[in-house]
Chains A and B, each alone.
Chain A
Amino acid sequence: MALNWGDKADVRDYWLRVLTNEAYLRSDGTVHNGAFGGKAISQPDDRAWSLELSGRLLSLVKDVEAEARAFCGDKMPFIGVLYQSVENLRTDGTSPLPGFPTDIVYTPRAGDNAHADHVAYGPTAEHKFALRDWLQDFIQAVDSTQCNVVEQLRANAPSGAA
């Protein structure tokens, strides 16, 4: 079924975010919490959620590597891709970390029909560190040469149509 702005992502889908800084992806595949620092997690004024982190839905991305490289252009390095299943990023807030409900919401933008935010309901700026901590533990990452790992997840994701 086609998604509309504000819809929750299909639980079978995957959420992606391009890494554009070499300091964010370590050689052991773990991610520095700075990848989610500062304005990366923003506080929208007019949303049902209080914190959001931009990303994209795999089901609506045609070519992970090509689109990531196009995003980076010649101004930023394409370091890799963060990814995790919607199922794992959808929480009810009962676990100690992050301690508040989270989800993936489809939020297409002009020029980016695949855009989706990882959102949190209720927390304030003071909770950003907790969200960074949790994401660091939960998010997976591949470097720019391993986008095929993400592509292979399509077998489980819903077919793209928005």
Chain B
Amino acid sequence: MNVFAAANATAPSYPIGILQAGQTGYPQGSSPMSANVTARPDLSGDAHYSQIEALFDNYWQTKWSADVSHYFPLGEPVLEGPAPNAIFLPHLVHVTLFSESPRNAVLARLSAVFAREITTANRIGVTQGQDRLASYAKYETENWDGFDADPITADTRRAAKGFLDSLPKVLSNPAIAPTADGAIALEWIWKNGNLHKLFIDIGPGSVWKGYWRRANGQRGVLNARDIELGSLKFDLAGLVRRLNR
């Protein structure tokens, strides 16, 4: 089923609201429910609707069917195992559903929202965190580079994925590479602006450190610190803002 056709066919006739964060307008008598959606299927292929449906069913359906009067999300959906088509946007999307909404209608609306977001994400070159690190399991062995490199552990990959998923928009689409000490290196190089280079190494483990150089030659090191996903996006956005002054 075409996702847009599905949305257009059903959305106007049902009391569904899918609102962005900060918006209001719940229909009278509805029970609003919110979910922070960070993982969503690839909508570029023909199978996108079924992927959304599977995601929805796997993580949300249990509560949905048990008690429609009070639906609570089961936490942030996470795709299990390698998901080569999964897309992780660098920001949360707050989706508000209503308990009386027919399941199919909700699915259609979710599809429409996701499709729009992913189209936007592709346009601005947002990276696919999970995709870009999926192949890094091959670096779990010693000496993967022929120069005595340390393995990149699953813990480091998880930390890097969380880091990538938490990047602010200004740091979308880093160039990613493994490093010989078992870390994962992110790199941004800007041609314009005061900040010229930003390097961030993630790992080994759940720590990161970095380095920056301004166009005027000023440079500095960001000492190693734990990855705090709760504040990372804001910390990095603030860092880039300050370095660009």
Mark A residues whose CB is within 8 Å of B: 18, 20-21, 23-24, 26, 32-35, 37-40, 54, 71-72, 75-76, 96-97, 126, 129-130, 132-133
Contact (Cβ within 8 A) A34 B179: yes
A76 to B178, CA, bound (A): 14
B177 contact from A18, A37, A54, Cβ within 8 A? A37
How many Cβ-Cβ contacts under 8 Å join chain A to chain B? 79
Shortest Cβ distance from residue A53 to the other chain B in the assembled complex, whole angstroms: 9
Segment at the interface with A among B36-44, B106-114, B139-147:
B139-147
Contact (Cβ within 8 A) A38 B197: no
Nearest opposing residue in chain B for A40, CB measure: B180
B105 within 8 A of A: no
A18 contact from B146, B175, B217, Cβ within 8 A? B146
Q: Tell me which residues across on chain A come within 8 A of B64, comparing CB atoms.
A: none
Shortest Cβ distance from residue B197 to the other chain A in the assembled complex, whole angstroms: 6
B179 contact from A38, A54, A126, A133, Cβ within 8 A? A38
Nearest opposing residue in chain B for A78, CB measure: B146
Q: Which residue, B145, B150, B176, B221, has most C-beta atoms of chain A within 10 A?
A: B145
Contact (Cβ within 8 A) B181 A130: no
Top-4 shortest CB links A-B = A38-B181, A37-B179, A34-B177, A34-B185
Q: Tell me which residues across on chain A come within 8 A of B187, comparing CB atoms.
A: 32-34
30 A-B pairs whose Cβ atoms sit less than 8 Å apart in the complex = A20-B147, A21-B177, A23-B175, A24-B177, A26-B175, A32-B185, A32-B187, A33-B185, A34-B177, A34-B185, A37-B177, A37-B179, A38-B150, A38-B179, A38-B180, A38-B182, A39-B149, A39-B181, A40-B147, A40-B149, A40-B179, A75-B146, A76-B145, A96-B217, A126-B221, A129-B199, A129-B211, A132-B199, A133-B199, A133-B219
A33 to B183, CA, bound (A): 12
Nearest opposing residue in chain A for B181, CB measure: A38
Within 8 A of A (CB), among B185-238: 185, 187, 197, 199, 201, 210-211, 213, 217, 219, 221
